[in-house]
Each structure stands twice: as C-alpha cells, then as structure tokens.
C-alpha cells in the first residue's frame, strides 16, 4: 500500500528565502511521485512529477524536487520565494506501472511573508 506524509500543515517563509516543503512516502513497489499546487479559489494543478530517470525533477515556476529512494523522500524546493507562491501544496504517490489511483498527502499551506 502507498501513503504520503507531509511534514507541516503550514509553512511560512520570507519573500526571497528558500522554500522547502517536505514529503515522505511509503510504497511497496517503485513509485511515481507528484507535487500538485492549489492556488486560492482554483483547482489542483500538476507542479512536477517523477516517473523514471533523473531523480532531480524541475517543475513550473522555478520549483524542483529530488527523489531520494534511500530516504523515501520527495521534498519540494525553490531557491527564492515569491509572493505569488502562496498556495497549498500536495505531495502524491502512485505505484509505478500499475493502474492504481494517486494517493495524496494532507497538504502544506505555504505562506509568504513580505
């Protein structure tokens, strides 16, 4: 079975500071890993995903995430936060090469301080 744990339901960073949103997963088979973002009053939008290949994945708006199998982690980072990054971020996992559903974490709300 798959599961996702996102550390911190709320994270606050200053504008221009590093953004780090933590995600750890549990999967009995190799996983696909995703980050989705939800801006206020909008739906969920795919930010980036890891399927196979390079473990450092780049997404939209300057975000990236690194798949670390040894740590079962897929943390999301951005070097310099912008006010427009304020949103809710969801990490998700799905088993590779199987038609199973995506399992989402509880989400982390990112607040950007001026």
Partner 1 sequence: EPEVTQTPSHQVTQMGQEVILRCVPISNHLYFYWYRQILGQKVEFLVSFYNNEISEKSEIFDDQFSVERPDGSNFTLKIRSTKLEDSAMYFCASSAKRENTGELFFGEGSRLTVL
User: Where does this chain bind partner 1 (CB under 8 A)?
Assistant: 4, 9, 32, 34, 36, 41-46, 49, 51, 90, 92, 94-107
CB of 38 to partner 1, least distance (A): 8
Half-sphere exposure of 97 (CA within 13 A, CB side): 4
Q: Which one, 17 or 109, has the nearer CB to partner 1? A: 109
CB of 42 to partner 1, least distance (A): 5
Contact 109, 88 (CB under 8 A): yes
Contact 85, 61 (CB under 8 A): yes
């Amino acid at each position: 079975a798959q599961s996702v744990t996102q550390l911190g339901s709320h994270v606050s960073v200053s504008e221009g500071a590093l953004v780090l949103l933590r995600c750890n997963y549990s999967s009995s088979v190799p996983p696909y890993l995703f980050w989705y973002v939800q801006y206020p009053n909008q739906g969920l939008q795919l930010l980036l995903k890891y399927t196979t290949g390079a473990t450092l994945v780049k997404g939209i708006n300057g975000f990236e995430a690194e798949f670390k199998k040894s740590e079962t982690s897929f943390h999301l980072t951005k070097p310099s936060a912008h006010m427009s990054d304020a949103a809710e971020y969801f990490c998700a996992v799905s088993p590779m090469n199987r038609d199973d559903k995506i399992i989402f974490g509880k989400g982390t709300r990112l607040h950007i301080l001026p």
